[in-house]
Chains A and B, each alone.
Chain A
Amino acid sequence: MRALLLALLLAGGGAQAAERPDCSRPLSLALHDHGLLYSRQTGEGIDKDFADELIRRSGCRITVTVLPRARIWQLIESGGLDFSLSGISNEQRERFAAFAWYFSNKYYLLVRRDAGVQRVGDFIRNPQLRLGAIRSFRYGPGANRLVDALDSDMRVSYASGLAPLYATLLANQTQGMIIEPFDYPALESAAIRGQTHILEFDDPPVPHGLIMSKRAIAPQEQARWRALVDEMRADGTVERIFDKYFKPELSQALTRF
C-alpha cells in the first residue's frame, strides 16, 4: 500500500518533468568497486544495473568507467566527470555536486571481537586501535565524528577500495571499519564473521543518490535527471534492482524512505 502511494505521488512529479535530459554530447559516469554496489570481479552490482537503466531510459550515450572513489569526487568537483552513483551529500559536496536520491541506509562499525570494543566510544578510547577507511568516504554524523577523531590522531589507514580493508582487518593491522548493507556478502565469509561483530551508530539512515557534477550539468538538466531517477523509484524499478541483491524486507527498508 505504502509502495503504491509512493509510486502514485512520484509518478505525478515524473509526468510533470517528462522532458528527457539533453543527450547532445556523450556523458560520463563512474562506478566504484564497493561490495554489492559494483564488483570489478563480476562486473555486476546495484550501481551497474542502475546505470544501465538510467542509460536506457535517458537514451543518452554514457561512458561507464570504474574509478577509485576519491578520484570520482575530484572529477565531479572539476567537472571532468558528469555522474556517479550512490553518493551522499555534505556541506562541502553541496558546493559542487547535485544529487537525486534513490536509496537510504545506515552505517555500522565492523570491529574485531578481540579489540574489546562494546560501544563505538570504546574504539576512540583505546589508542591501540586503528580504523580502515576508504579515502574520501563520508558517512552519517556519528560515523564521521569517529573517523575524523581517529584521523586527527593518525589512526586511520586509508584504502582506495574496500577489498584491502577486509584483509587488514583479518590480519589485525586495523581493528575496525565502517560498513553498509552492500558489504554484507563479505561478512558471510566465515573468517570475517568469526572474528568480528557489528556496532550501530546512533545516526538516522543517510540518503544516497545519483551524483551530478554542477560544473558539467546545468541546473535545468539536473532537474530532468532527478525526475528520471524519481520515475525509476516511483515505478518500482529501483526496488526491483535492489531485490536482485537483498531480501525483500531489506530492499524495501533501503529504497522506501
Chain B
Amino acid sequence: MTPPTHLRNLLLPLCTGAASLALTGVLWHHEQQGLDATLRADFDVSVRQTAGRIEQRVAAYEQMLRAARGLFDASEDVSQEDFRKFVDALTGGTELAGLQAMLFTPRLSGAQVARHVATRRALGDPGYRIRPPGERDVVGPVTYVAPASPDNRKALGHDILTDPARRDAMFQARDSGGIAITPRINLLMDRPANRPAFAMYLATYARGRPIDTLAARQAHLNGWVHIAFRLHDLMASLYGEDTPGIALRIYDGVRTDAASLIFDSHPGDDPAPPRFTATEYISFPQSNWTLQIRSIPAFELRRDRGSATIIAIAGTCVSLLLALLMHQLVTGRARAYAHALTMTRELRESEERMRHMAQHDALTLLPNRALLADRLHAALALARRDKTRSGLMFVDLDHFKPVNDIHGHAIGDRLLLAATARMRDCLRESDTLARMGGDEFVVLLPHIDSQADAQLVAERIRSAIALPFTIDQHNLQISTSIGIGIYPDDASTPEGLTICADDAMYRAKDAGRNRLVFASET
C-alpha cells in the first residue's frame, strides 16, 4: 500500500532534513570531542607544567644547598662574610625569587655552646645569645644568615633543634645525606605572622671523613645548610600573580582540608564545578604536597573558538533549507501540473467566452446574426433532407425608439430584456430566437409542418409583447410587426428566405404594425 501523495511529498524532505541534521550532529559531536581532547591535553600539560615547575624550583633550591655544602667541604673555617659573599654570588643574576634566606646552623654539643656564643659576640654581634635559653645536650643555633637583612637577622641564635618539625627534617637530612623538607612551619623572621613557609635542610659533615653509611653520617655531622622560603613567594616567582587558565591549591600532606591548605591561587573563588580537575602529589623526603588543580572558565575561553556552536547553528539552518528545497523539488511537478490545468481551463473558458461573444448579443445573450446564419443553413439543410418545412420570422418591436428617447437607454435595455423573455416563453427548445440589433429580432422554427404552425407561434409572440410592460413603475406599451417566410414555399435558400421574411415584416409595419404578415401574402 503506498502512502497518500501529500505524505510522500512530506516524507522525502523530512528524511533529507533529518539526515542533514544527523550529519550536523555528527560533525558537532566530532568538533566537540576534538575540542574536549585538545582541552584535556592542554589541561594535562598545565598540570604537568605546574607540578614540574614547583619540583624544579625545589630542585634548584637543593642545588643551592649542595653548592653551600661544597663551600663547607672546601674550607675549614667559613666565616659569616664568606657565607654572605657565597650566597650573593649564588643568587646573583639567577631567577630565584621566593627564597627568603639561606642559613647555616652548626651542630653543637652542650659543652661547645659557651665558646660558640663568645666567638659570635667577638665577631661583631654583641647581642648574640642562644634562644630559647636553657641547657641542652645538643644545640643547633642559627649562626649565619644571608641576606643579612634586619628581618633575617632575627633568626640568629635560635636553636632550631628545639622545634620538633625542624628537628625531624634536620635529622632526616643528616641520616640520608640528602635534602629534607619540613612540613609547614612559621619562619623565625615571620613571627608572629602566620604565612605558610618551609625549610629545607642539607647536612654538612666533618671534612675528609667518610659518610657512606648511616652511622658514619651520624657520627661526622657538622651542621646544616638550609634555606627558608614562603610558599606564596615561591609561587609568585613562578607565575607572577596568576596561574594561566587554572586555579591551584596546594595542601601540605595528602589531606585536602582547610587546615592543610598552604596556597590558593584563587582564594574565596569556588564557582561552578570546573570542567577539569586533577590531583597531583609532589613527593619530598619526609614530606608531600598535594596540588589540586582545576580549570577556570578562562581556560576554555582561550581555546574555544565557538566552532562547535557555529557548526550546530549553520548545520541546522542548512538542514532546514535543504528540507525546504527538497519539498520544493518534490512538489514542483505537481504544482506545475496543477498550474497548467488551471491555465488550460482558463484558456478554454476564455475561448468559450470569446466564441459566445462572437455569436451572441451582449445585452440579451441571444444568438446574433452570425449564429443565426449558421443555424438557418443547418435547419434548411435538414429540412431539405427530411423534406419538411422551416419557418423564419422577422420580429420588429413597434414604438420602441420613443421608449429609449423618453425613459433613457437603461429602461430601453430592460424593456428589451423583458420582451426577449416573453418571446422565449413562446418558443420551443429547438427554436432559435436571435437579435439582429436595435429592436429587430428573428425567430427560426427549424421544423414545422405547415404555415399554421408558424402562424400560431407568431401570434403567441405578438399577443405576449402586446401586453403592457411595467419597468421601474413605468407602464410601457409596445407591439410587434412580424414578417414570416416558409421554406420551401417562399424561398429555398437561407438568403432568399431572409429577404422575403424581412420584406414581409416591412409590409406588416406598413400595414399599421401589431400584426403578422406571411411572405406568401400579396
CB proximity to B under 8 Å, residues A162-176? 162-165, 167-168, 171, 173
Interface contact A167-B253, CB-CB below 8 Å: yes
Assess whether A159 is interfacial by the CB under 8 Å rule.
yes
Residues of A within 8 A of B285 (CB): 33, 40-41
Residues of B within 8 A of A43 (CB): 175-178, 214, 217
CB proximity to A under 8 Å, residues B459-487? none
Residues of A within 8 A of B56 (CB): 71
CB distance from B178 to the nearest CB of A (A): 5
- Docked Cα-Cα span, A167 to B282, in Å, equals 12
CB distance from B167 to the nearest CB of A (A): 15
Contact A160/B281 with A68-B55, A135-B48 known, Cβ cut-off 8 Å? yes
Residues of B within 8 A of A68 (CB): 55, 283
- Docked Cα-Cα span, A164 to B291, in Å, equals 12
Return the chain B residue nearest A165 by Cβ.
B281
Assess whether B455 is interfacial by the CB under 8 Å rule.
no
CB proximity to A under 8 Å, residues B272-300? 276-283, 285-286, 288, 290
- Docked Cα-Cα span, A175 to B47, in Å, equals 21
CB proximity to A under 8 Å, residues B175-217? 175-178, 214, 217
Residues of B within 8 A of A168 (CB): 254, 281
Assess whether A158 is interfacial by the CB under 8 Å rule.
yes
CB distance from A189 to the nearest CB of B (A): 15
Assess whether A199 is interfacial by the CB under 8 Å rule.
no
Q: Give 1 or 0 for each of A64-95: 1 = CB within 8 Å of chain B CB.
A: 00111011000000000000000000000000
Assess whether B255 is interfacial by the CB under 8 Å rule.
yes
- Docked Cα-Cα span, A66 to B288, in Å, equals 16
Residues of B within 8 A of A165 (CB): 281
Return the chain B residue nearest A166 by Cβ.
B254
Residues of A within 8 A of B256 (CB): 173
CB distance from A178 to the nearest CB of B (A): 15
Assess whether B219 is interfacial by the CB under 8 Å rule.
no
Q: Is the interface on chain A under 10, 10 to 19, 20 to 34, or 35 or more residues?
A: 20 to 34
Contact A42/B283 with A68-B55, A171-B254, A173-B254 known, Cβ cut-off 8 Å? no
CB distance from B69 to the nearest CB of A (A): 14
- B214 contacts which of A42, A67, A164, A167 (Cβ < 8 Å)? A42
Assess whether B316 is interfacial by the CB under 8 Å rule.
no
Assess whether B20 is interfacial by the CB under 8 Å rule.
no
Most chain A CB within a 10 A radius of its CB, from B279, B281, B286: B281
CB proximity to B under 8 Å, residues A42-69? 42-43, 66-68
Residues of A within 8 A of B47 (CB): 158
Interface contact B55-A41, CB-CB below 8 Å: no
Interface contact B276-A42, CB-CB below 8 Å: no
Most chain B CB within a 10 A radius of its CB, from A67, A70, A157, A164: A164
Interface contact B282-A159, CB-CB below 8 Å: yes
Assess whether A5 is interfacial by the CB under 8 Å rule.
no
Interface contact B254-A167, CB-CB below 8 Å: yes
Assess whether B383 is interfacial by the CB under 8 Å rule.
no
Interface contact B279-A167, CB-CB below 8 Å: no
CB distance from B217 to the nearest CB of A (A): 8
Interface contact A157-B283, CB-CB below 8 Å: no
Interface contact B283-A163, CB-CB below 8 Å: yes
CB distance from B256 to the nearest CB of A (A): 7
Residues of A within 8 A of B255 (CB): 171
Interface contact A159-B281, CB-CB below 8 Å: yes
Interface contact B253-A160, CB-CB below 8 Å: no
SS class of chain B's interface: helix, strand, loop or mixed?
mixed
Assess whether B105 is interfacial by the CB under 8 Å rule.
no
Residues of B within 8 A of A205 (CB): none
Interface contact B283-A66, CB-CB below 8 Å: no
CB distance from B413 to the nearest CB of A (A): 97
Assess whether A161 is interfacial by the CB under 8 Å rule.
yes
CB distance from A154 to the nearest CB of B (A): 7
Interface contact B283-A33, CB-CB below 8 Å: yes
Contact A71/B55 with A157-B281, A159-B282 known, Cβ cut-off 8 Å? yes
Assess whether B51 is interfacial by the CB under 8 Å rule.
yes
Interface contact A40-B282, CB-CB below 8 Å: no
Most chain A CB within a 10 A radius of its CB, from B48, B55, B177, B279: B279
CB distance from B216 to the nearest CB of A (A): 11
Residues of A within 8 A of B286 (CB): 41
Assess whether B172 is interfacial by the CB under 8 Å rule.
yes
Contact A41/B172 with A158-B280, A164-B283 known, Cβ cut-off 8 Å? yes
Interface contact B281-A41, CB-CB below 8 Å: no
Residues of B within 8 A of A171 (CB): 254-255
- Docked Cα-Cα span, A165 to B175, in Å, equals 23
- Docked Cα-Cα span, A159 to B254, in Å, equals 11
Return the chain A residue nearest B212 by Cβ.
A43
- B283 contacts which of A71, A154, A162, A173 (Cβ < 8 Å)? A162
CB distance from A81 to the nearest CB of B (A): 13
CB distance from B273 to the nearest CB of A (A): 13
Interface contact A154-B276, CB-CB below 8 Å: yes
Return the chain A residue nearest B277 by Cβ.
A154
- Docked Cα-Cα span, A158 to B279, in Å, equals 7
Most chain B CB within a 10 A radius of its CB, from A66, A135, A158, A161: A158
Residues of A within 8 A of B177 (CB): 43
Return the chain A residue nearest B43 by Cβ.
A154
- Docked Cα-Cα span, A84 to B226, in Å, equals 28
Residues of B within 8 A of A164 (CB): 254, 281-283, 288, 290
CB distance from A120 to the nearest CB of B (A): 22
Interface contact A161-B55, CB-CB below 8 Å: no
- Docked Cα-Cα span, A137 to B40, in Å, equals 20
Interface contact B176-A41, CB-CB below 8 Å: yes
Return the chain B residue nearest A157 by Cβ.
B279
- A167 contacts which of B175, B276, B288 (Cβ < 8 Å)? B288
Return the chain A residue nearest B256 by Cβ.
A173
CB distance from A172 to the nearest CB of B (A): 11
Most chain B CB within a 10 A radius of its CB, from A70, A157, A165, A171: A157
CB proximity to B under 8 Å, residues A127-170? 132, 135, 154, 157-165, 167-168
- Docked Cα-Cα span, A68 to B62, in Å, equals 13
- Docked Cα-Cα span, A121 to B506, in Å, equals 124
Task: In the A-B complex, list the 7 residue pairs whose CB atoms are closest, starting with the nearest.
Answer: A161-B283, A159-B281, A164-B281, A164-B288, A157-B279, A40-B285, A167-B254
- Interface residues of chain A, those whose CB is within 8 Å of chain B, are 33, 40-43, 66-68, 70-71, 132, 135, 154, 157-165, 167-168, 171, 173
Given contacts A157-B279, A159-B282, A167-B254, 12 further A-B contacts (CB under 8 A): A40-B176, A40-B178, A71-B52, A154-B276, A154-B277, A158-B280, A158-B281, A159-B280, A161-B281, A161-B283, A162-B283, A167-B253
